[in-house]
Structure 1
Amino acid sequence: MKKGILLCFCVIWCIVCCRAEEGMWIPMLLKKYNIEDMQKKGFKLTAEDIYAINRASLKDAVVGLGREGRPFQHFCTGGLISAEGLVVTNHHCAFDMIQKHSSLEKNYLRDGFWAKGRHEELANPGITASVLVRMEDVTGKIQAALSENMPEKRRNGVIDSVCNVLEQAAVAGTDLSANIKPYFNGNQFFMSVFRIYKDVRLVAAPPSAIGNFGGDTDNWTWPRHTGDFSVLRIYAGENNEPAAYSEKNKPYRPAAFSKIYAGGLTEGDFTMVFGYPGTTNEYLPSYAVDQLVELENPHKIAIRTAKLNIIKAAMNSSDLLRIKYASKAAGVANAWKKWQGESKGLKRFKTVENKRMLEEKFQVWAAGKPEYAGLIDRYKALYDKRKELMLADIYLGEAGRRGAELMNFALSAYTYAQRYKTQTDKAGVQEDFRNYATAFFKDYDAEVDKTILIEMLRLYNENVPSEWVPEGVAEAAEGKGITLFAEEMFRKSVFTDPDRTFSFIDKLDSKSVSKVSRDPAYLLINSIVGFSREKVLSPLNQINREIQQLNRLWLAGLMEMESDKVFYPDANSTLRIAYGTIGGYSPSDAVRYNYYTTLSGIMEKDNPAIYDYNIPQKLRDIYASGDFGPYTQNGEVPVCFIANNHTTGGNSGSPVLNARGELIGLNFDRAWDGVMSDMQYDPEICRNIAVDIRYVLFIIDKIGDARYLLDEMEIVN
């Protein structure tokens, strides 16, 4: 069977003649499989101009933004735009950085931030910027260590072990880092080798009224008028190598950076998105999609709706609470709105029905092929078995661990107390705990959190069968009731008040573990985590391993059955190319959307009475005066545009390039009508949304008065 699977991949890769509108393609393979099609659609460069390892190429101007400890799980993408390490990405990608630097006295979220020189750029501890050095197909080396009937858990362990050896060998004696990830549901493996920079500073960000214009109201929608950008700078050590933050560091000198095209855009223009898409699931079986639409998304949406209602009410009541909860609200709302659009799209395009038809076809084709016997029936049995476990897991996560913030803080307190008891550097543990608590309480409000806890406990007890409710959660609804239970917890817990918490930290001793274990907040979260560990995670993980094995077999069989069809690997937070064309679309009967928006549209939405649409007065004044500078097209300042590039989460901040590889915009969202594209892509309705680079330049110049940044860039027309 292994030979058949490998042969299948050779066949598929050799017949690629992909549609431009669909797919997230591996840069190192473009020369062999995509470049002819790209050039037919207008691309003016070569595959080597995009990806090369012996000379500078476009890949060297793309960075993956990550966090120390998880640098390969890129949360966003950025594009290098100067010879001195200047990076442009989305405002929402830097939102947490901006928020952490904000206070009532320096409200950078509200007012924006514009460094007037290098000395004013703000450090962001823990943020990393990865530049891809090269990729390598290591499938053969990994498969050589696997046997055909190896149990899935054992198989995963062997893969991890081999990957670790290969990764270490690839970067031995260098300042590089390597990471291997599976492609095609684990049928192939590629290694990415990076140079990871650890000194990333905030340079500029527009006011949220520009960078987040439209807020949650416009999120995932088109038309869009959001100036979703911010500017960072990467710093390096003496020899341009990665280095921890230091005042002695110098701006990073990249091998390549993007020229900026400030000319006009036309419908039908070639576009290319270069970035780090997070996760897609194009090849899920019908049972997975059905469970997502009918069970998972509805419950997750309901939980987050309740949480958002509480947070938004608090933010509307106080400027201080708005600062504290702005980033948190955005984090909760982003997936919440996506799940709604996703479910709508999957139903509209009959994804479950279409997949079932494909599965029926597969069963007919697979008759007489023992390696695929019973595969679809096994899928059904596993997803039936998974259903209640998934419901329990959703509430354990969304209403438990990610419900009230107090829950995770109490868990962390227990961990710090254990560290203090067992480690020799007592003062170091206390300092770490104190820093953690300081950061926590900076953006914490106990009354808001208590209200959230009450609502989470109510939803938990009302929507989950009793056998899947942790003891502590069930007890909260008994006796005096949930509200009094929560009020008593917040009154008694050490960790709801900064004075009590810091006093506890100052008095840490060997008995502190037992003190935490008696705290009412810890008792509740420990009940939730313990229930998850004992009753849910083990059987759920076992089912998921069995599904993982079927997924690998299913895709191998599907590619063998449809050997004349184009297949591309799901996104997995590795560097990919998506290409297509600029164009509007029709979401429904008698509705047609244009492909771009303008500053005039912002003024039409402007409303000082609505937070999401209350633009800065300075922008109103500029519009009234007509002082638009060289940033117009047909007399209007362009703001955003759409194209049919296949994107997903992680592509936020990705450079959008034209046919000559010049920067024309930054990808930041998808249109809600086609957000189901993670599982079913339709080129007629799926659109990625980008902020026009001319609007970025306009805001930097006219709002930020930071023209010195434009002087660093290479701007062409």
Structure 2
Amino acid sequence: MKKIFLLCTFMLSFAQMKADEGMWLMMLIKRLNGQDLQKKGLKLTPEEIYSVNNASLKDAIVQFGGGCTAEMVSREGLLFTNHHCGYGQIAALSTPEKDHLTNGFWAMNKSEEIPAKGLSVRFLVRMDDVTARINALLNNEMPAKERRDIIDAEYKKIQSENAESGKYTVVVRDFFNGNEFYYFVYQDFKDVRLVGTPPNSVGKFGGDTDNWEWPRHTGDFSVFRVYADANGNPAEYSPSNVPMKPKHHLPISIKSFKPGDMAMIVGYPGRTNRYMTSYGISQLVNKDYPGWVDASRTAMDVLKKHMDRDQATKLNYASQYASVANYWKNRQGTIESVHKNGTIEDKKKVEQVYQEWANKSDNKDLYGNVLPEMAAYYKTTSSKGIERNYAAQMTRNAKYLAYATNFSSMFKNYMDETDAAKKADLKKTISERIETSYAKFNPALEQEMLKEMVSLYRAKVRNEAASPHLQTINPALLDDVAKNSIFATKTSMMQFLNKPDAAQLNNDALLKIANGFTKDSRALAERYTVEDDRFSHNNRLFFDGLRKSNPKTEFYPDANSTMRITFGKITTLPFREDRDYNGVKNNFYTDIDGMVAKYKKGDEEFDLPQELLDLAAKRDYGQYADAAGYLPVNFLSDNDITGGNSGSPIMNGNGELIGLAFDGNSEALSGDIVFEEDWQKTINVDSRFVLWVIDKLSGAGHLLQEMTIVK
């Protein structure tokens, strides 16, 4: 049985923990055993990592766009993140005439930087523990609704107490399956501008083929700048805004490193489920994720069919396709990894020990039935889980459903408004929303997407969980239901806005489909309310029992999109016979020679700019070459990360940037469920390659003048 390490933020003894497992809350960094960290290479003090009153490492790390991480790298608000994190913004700022996504883009001065509409970054100001405060109001006997109401009320009080009249955004989160609570105070900056991006052939080199695979040769980075008002405060975009001055920015190291050297990552990991039971994992990989994979593949086929027809559609839907493809491969890989690595069997062994403890007389009343009831829950709700995955992909990709639901509500509010001034404001708001939503909208693609996703849902979701409205639709209606709808195009939407008619809206066939599905979804959720509430109760008790039954074992909280730090080291991965390493003998890095060896002229995944090929042929690496003479591209570490960590800085023990985390490896795609000690790695783009692309390949060396480069 592989060793499973469950680590706790409260009783943190680094001497007993594995350096590579666990995502730690920043405010608890002082509880790490500093001496052991120093032996492993950490040169920073806890105060230099997390401080409320003084500049610290946390002040250089931001949540980027809500789903990624980025880091400040200059005193002038410059930030690095992944190319795939900036992908949607880069695509949105591209046209067939100015195709920044395909060709790359670099602003030669600040006036050329392009505002990224709708993009914001979030800085953590501070966090605090409110577990005792909230738990003092709760008990295990109270009804689920009463518990939720109490928690919600305290959340609102905590937010009000710390928001300072709207200056800050305050988020309260539960941890350890609802046993503990912390709040986070953030400051959001909404004027963010694109500074530079390598061509897609560099930023996405290897495409779907190499995604989640090692070795990688990808320049997965992009550069943005954060702006503030004249006083340094967050502000909406304005030409008068100035580059913000972060409290701290990361120095960038171009020094060589080797396996065993300390590496730490700070970022915003999205979601892990390390305490999921064997029953939940079985449902996930045998029922839920196969539905996700199936629906994603259908959506990708529709997208690619239309994207291949013209460049405008390719640009407009590039971000959506990349996101769907990424998760499609992730979910498929997770299924394979769980079965290959014996994850379910390992969980069963943990549960057997837990049940033996729970059956003891002192524990039986509260904990004895927890696991049996959780097992029964998954049997009862299995069909609902499958439906949820097909429905999620349908609503995510079939935009007509969301547009019909959202815009119909706006139209009704507009028609009901009697105040002339308010009516005029509503019309302006709706008009702007229509313009934004339909600006890069392909009606033919969306009509086919709607038909294919609804048809797949009808075919694959079991009747006991399926939407009755979708199941009883005449299939012929799906062929062209959107074509005659109010929501078909920007033109039809504007025509309706200028001459609204309630009867026309209520009789719209597309809206009837959307409303019927929404109504059925609510009914399905309500049908399982009792089961879901009981599961939440048992899930909380399960973790509580885990902790009490293992008093000498230490536990860490699952990721939940809050800032975390993870410690590890530069590492290697065993060679695989089915992968080409292009001459690299020490399997912790890849170099530009390997990148060039994969080059295929004109290939969508493996093409490269001629300028890169020429520089590589001349071995013109400048100061960015490794001490051994090669130009590094990517490298491996054993840090514990997940989705949301994309773009996170990976740093040496001095807190200097050595790269950007951008991927994991296929051998450990079950990592969101269990940390695979022997296999779980982080794939990073080397900071030396990032700077080489900016300086040598792109001619934007002026940006390096505002960075702190450590040689």
Q: Give the structure-1-normalised TM-score.
A: 0.93
Q: How many Å apart are 1:460 and its aligned residue? A: 1.9
Query: What residue is the counterpart of 2:389 in the other structure?
Result: 394
Say yes or no: does 1:524 pair with 2:513: yes
Closer/same/farther in 2, CA of residues 16 and 544 from structure 1, 3 Å limit? farther
Say yes or no: does 1:623 pair with 2:628: no
One-letter code aligned to 1:699: V
Closer/same/farther in 2, CA of residues 587 and 279 from structure 1, 3 Å limit? farther
Query: What residue is the counterpart of 2:499 in the other structure?
Result: 507
- After superposition, residues 637-652 of structure 1 pair within 5 angstroms as 637-652=631-646
Closer/same/farther in 2, CA of residues 102 and 502 from structure 1, 3 Å limit? same
With 284-293 and 32-41 compared, the bigger mean Cα shift is at 32-41
Query: What residue is the counterpart of 1:415 in the other structure?
Result: 409
* Distance (whole Å) between structure 2 residues aligned to residue 147 and residue 58 of structure 1: 38
Say yes or no: does 1:278 pair with 2:278: no
Say yes or no: does 1:195 pair with 2:195: no
Say yes or no: does 1:152 pair with 2:144: yes
One-letter code aligned to 2:612: L
Asked whether the equivalents of residues 289 and 389 of structure 2 are also in contact (C-alpha less than 8 Å), the reply is no
Query: What residue is the counterpart of 1:571 in the other structure?
Result: 559
* Distance (whole Å) between structure 2 residues aligned to residue 597 and residue 231 of structure 1: 22
Closer/same/farther in 2, CA of residues 10 and 299 from structure 1, 3 Å limit? closer
Q: How many Å apart are 1:525 and its aligned residue? A: 1.6
* Distance (whole Å) between structure 2 residues aligned to residue 546 and residue 443 of structure 1: 45
Give CA-to-partner distance per residue, 1:393-445, whole Å, 9 cap, x none.
Answer: 2233223x224221111112211212202344222222222222222323222
Query: What residue is the counterpart of 1:181 in the other structure?
Result: 173
* Distance (whole Å) between structure 2 residues aligned to residue 9 and residue 280 of structure 1: 15
2:321 to 318, 329, 348: 329
Query: What residue is the counterpart of 2:162 in the other structure?
Result: 170
Query: What residue is the counterpart of 2:46 in the other structure?
Result: 47
Query: What residue is the counterpart of 2:379 in the other structure?
Result: 384
* Distance (whole Å) between structure 2 residues aligned to residue 539 and residue 444 of structure 1: 36
What is the Cα-based RMSD across aligned positions, in Å? 2.1
Closer/same/farther in 2, CA of residues 403 and 661 from structure 1, 3 Å limit? closer
Give CA-to-partner distance per residue, 1:38-96, whole Å, 9 cap, x none.
Answer: 22222122111111122111111111124xxxxxxx31111111111111111111111
Q: How many Å apart are 1:179 and its aligned residue? A: 1.8
Q: How many Å apart are 1:109 and its aligned residue? A: 0.7
Q: How many Å apart are 1:541 and its aligned residue? A: 4.4
Asked whether the equivalents of residues 346 and 352 of structure 1 are also in contact (C-alpha less than 8 Å), the reply is yes
- After superposition, residues 154-553 of structure 1 pair within 5 angstroms as 154-172=146-164, 175-367=167-359, 368=361, 369=363, 370-399=365-394, 401-423=395-417, 424=419, 425-476=422-473, 478=474, 482=475, 484-508=476-500, 511-512=501-502, 514-534=503-523, 536-553=524-541
Give CA-to-partner distance per residue, 1:549-595, whole Å, 9 cap, x none.
Answer: 21211111111112222211101111110110111112768989811
Query: What residue is the counterpart of 1:688 in the other structure?
Result: 682
Closer/same/farther in 2, CA of residues 563 and 490 from structure 1, 3 Å limit? same
* Distance (whole Å) between structure 2 residues aligned to residue 435 and residue 573 of structure 1: 31
1:705 to 669, 680, 699: 699
Asked whether the equivalents of residues 404 and 510 of structure 2 are also in contact (C-alpha less than 8 Å), the reply is yes
Give CA-to-partner distance per residue, 1:115-167, whole Å, 9 cap, x none.
Answer: 12111212223322222122211111111222331222221221121121122
Give the 3-state SS of the residue equivalent to 2:220 in structure 1.
Answer: coil
Give CA-to-partner distance per residue, 1:368-408, whole Å, 9 cap, x none.
Answer: 11221211111111111111122222233223x22422111
Give the 3-state SS of the residue equivalent to 2:83 in structure 1.
Answer: coil
Give CA-to-partner distance per residue, 1:517-554, whole Å, 9 cap, x none.
Answer: 211211212221111112x1113444333222212111
* Distance (whole Å) between structure 2 residues aligned to residue 287 and residue 622 of structure 1: 54
Q: How many Å apart are 1:666 and its aligned residue? A: 0.6
Q: How many Å apart are 1:173 and its aligned residue? A: 5.5
Asked whether the equivalents of residues 398 and 446 of structure 2 are also in contact (C-alpha less than 8 Å), the reply is yes
* Distance (whole Å) between structure 1 residues aligned to residue 165 and residue 452 of structure 2: 54
Give the 3-state SS of the residue equivalent to 1:612 in structure 2.
Answer: coil
Say yes or no: does 1:125 pair with 2:124: no
Say yes or no: does 1:605 pair with 2:602: no
* Distance (whole Å) between structure 2 residues aligned to residue 571 and residue 587 of structure 1: 30
Asked whether the equivalents of residues 396 and 532 of structure 1 are also in contact (C-alpha less than 8 Å), the reply is no
Say yes or no: does 1:584 pair with 2:572: yes
Query: What residue is the counterpart of 1:30 in the other structure?
Result: 29
One-letter code aligned to 1:384: K
* Distance (whole Å) between structure 2 residues aligned to residue 198 and residue 542 of structure 1: 41
Q: How many Å apart are 1:11 and its aligned residue? A: 7.7
* Distance (whole Å) between structure 2 residues aligned to residue 10 and residue 667 of structure 1: 23
Asked whether the equivalents of residues 670 and 689 of structure 1 are also in contact (C-alpha less than 8 Å), the reply is yes
Q: How many Å apart are 1:469 and its aligned residue? A: 3.4
Q: How many Å apart are 1:281 and its aligned residue? A: 0.5
Say yes or no: does 1:101 pair with 2:93: yes
* Distance (whole Å) between structure 2 residues aligned to residue 698 and residue 169 of structure 1: 47
Asked whether the equivalents of residues 16 and 566 of structure 1 are also in contact (C-alpha less than 8 Å), the reply is no
Give the 3-state SS of the residue equivalent to 1:20 in structure 2.
Answer: coil
* Distance (whole Å) between structure 1 residues aligned to residue 113 and residue 14 of structure 2: 50
Say yes or no: does 1:63 pair with 2:62: yes
Asked whether the equivalents of residues 14 and 36 of structure 2 are also in contact (C-alpha less than 8 Å), the reply is no
* Distance (whole Å) between structure 1 residues aligned to residue 374 and residue 187 of structure 2: 41
Closer/same/farther in 2, CA of residues 472 and 166 from structure 1, 3 Å limit? closer
* Distance (whole Å) between structure 2 residues aligned to residue 98 and residue 664 of structure 1: 24
With 122-131 and 298-307 compared, the bigger mean Cα shift is at 122-131
Asked whether the equivalents of residues 260 and 693 of structure 1 are also in contact (C-alpha less than 8 Å), the reply is yes
* Distance (whole Å) between structure 2 residues aligned to residue 15 and residue 584 of structure 1: 23
With 174-183 and 150-159 compared, the bigger mean Cα shift is at 174-183
Asked whether the equivalents of residues 12 and 565 of structure 1 are also in contact (C-alpha less than 8 Å), the reply is no
Q: Which runs of 5+ in 2 are unaligned?
A: 1-6
* Distance (whole Å) between structure 1 residues aligned to residue 535 and residue 34 of structure 2: 35
* Distance (whole Å) between structure 2 residues aligned to residue 516 and residue 600 of structure 1: 60
Query: What residue is the counterpart of 2:84 in the other structure?
Result: 92
Closer/same/farther in 2, CA of residues 171 and 501 from structure 1, 3 Å limit? closer
Query: What residue is the counterpart of 1:664 in the other structure?
Result: 658
Aligned length: 693
Q: How many Å apart are 1:467 and its aligned residue? A: 4.1
Give the 3-state SS of the residue equivalent to 1:186 in structure 2.
Answer: coil
Give the 3-state SS of the residue equivalent to 2:695 in structure 1.
Answer: helix
With 573-582 and 360-369 compared, the bigger mean Cα shift is at 360-369
Asked whether the equivalents of residues 62 and 80 of structure 1 are also in contact (C-alpha less than 8 Å), the reply is yes
Query: What residue is the counterpart of 2:4 in the other structure?
Result: none
Q: Which runs of 5+ in 1 are unaligned?
A: 1-7, 67-73
Asked whether the equivalents of residues 18 and 34 of structure 1 are also in contact (C-alpha less than 8 Å), the reply is no
Q: Work out the percentage of aligned pairs sharing the same amino acid.
A: 35
Closer/same/farther in 2, CA of residues 573 and 537 from structure 1, 3 Å limit? same
Asked whether the equivalents of residues 144 and 533 of structure 2 are also in contact (C-alpha less than 8 Å), the reply is yes
One-letter code aligned to 1:89: T
With 309-318 and 215-224 compared, the bigger mean Cα shift is at 309-318
Q: Give the structure-2-normalised TM-score.
A: 0.94
With 12-21 and 598-607 compared, the bigger mean Cα shift is at 12-21
Query: What residue is the counterpart of 2:3 in the other structure?
Result: none
Q: How many Å apart are 1:248 and its aligned residue? A: 1.6
One-letter code aligned to 1:444: F
Query: What residue is the counterpart of 1:4 in the other structure?
Result: none
Asked whether the equivalents of residues 82 and 712 of structure 1 are also in contact (C-alpha less than 8 Å), the reply is yes
Give CA-to-partner distance per residue, 1:468-512, whole Å, 9 cap, x none.
Answer: 433442344x4xxx3x4333313322322332222222223xx34
2:587 to 577, 586, 594: 594
